[in-house]
Amino acid sequence: MRFLIVEDHPIMRVGERQLIERAWPDAVIDEASTLAEALAHVADQAPTAIVMDLALPDASGTDGISAMLHAAPASPILVLSFNAESAYAARLLQMGAAGYLPKDRAGDELVEALQRLVQGRRYVTASMADHLVDLLGGRANQALPHQSLSEQEYRVMLSIAAGRPPAQTAEVMGVSVKTVGTYRTRLFTKMRIKSNVELAKYCLQHGLTE
């Protein structure tokens, strides 16, 4: 059994490690504080499961998760975040993450979540499970503008909200600056947003940025 903890806060990392060690005393536990370090670990050996913070010094939002899904497709990822649960969980699960856990519940639910991932299952909190059921039944509120965005448009939205210039966004996404501009135009139209400042305020108000 091998786990990888990707977390830039030392105290959180220690706490997560202790919980895993108690549940799996013989497990090998690797640690990384940046996406780059994490990618180096998975290049050597694929972990049984990955516990990954959503906001890292060199990656934020869905970018880091997307990179890890590509680098370690066989390793289930449990995403931890301080972000509002409904803002990210459903989209991350659609991307391929195996679970989502708010950081304030990690002490109580981390081991249970990892047990499910190790068994090849997914994990969300009870409230998120209810939300997903509502989505499947068509009862959830889907009127929020950002929910209509494609995955690429969503990534550009978060990048703009984080204040990144188009060139940096293009480099991270592996597309041209012109393509980033096209996504920006589309998401502005869909969301009826008129400026980057207005978009940043929207993301902050809806818990889409930390």
Based on the fold, state whether residues 149 and 131 are members of the same structural domain: no
Task: Quote the number of domains for the chain.
Answer: 2
pTM equals 0.74
So what's the pLDDT on residue 139?
53
Report CA-CA distances (Å) from 168 to 9, 68, 164, 201. 25, 19, 6, 21
The pLDDT confidence band at residue 83, using thresholds 50, 70 and 90, is confident
Question: What is the rounded average pLDDT of the residues 21-26?
Answer: 96
In a domain, 65, yes or no: yes
In whole angstroms, what is the distance from residue 165 CA to residue 159 CA?
8
So what's the pLDDT on residue 146?
86
Of 137, 158, 178, the last residue of a domain is 137
Of 137, 164, 187, the last residue of a domain is 137
So what's the pLDDT on residue 138?
54
In whole angstroms, what is the distance from residue 4 CA to residue 17 CA?
9
Based on the fold, state whether residues 96 and 23 are members of the same structural domain: yes
So what's the pLDDT on residue 109?
93
Here the CATH number for the domain that contains residue 7 is: 3.40.50.2300
Based on the fold, state whether residues 6 and 81 are members of the same structural domain: yes
Based on the fold, state whether residues 151 and 72 are members of the same structural domain: no
So what's the pLDDT on residue 180?
93
So what's the pLDDT on residue 147?
77
- pLDDT, tens only, 132-175: 666 555 555 556 788 778 888 888 998 899 888 999 999 888 88
Q: Which domain holds residue 121?
A: 2-137
In a domain, 95, yes or no: yes
Based on the fold, state whether residues 10 and 39 are members of the same structural domain: yes
Based on the fold, state whether residues 7 and 73 are members of the same structural domain: yes
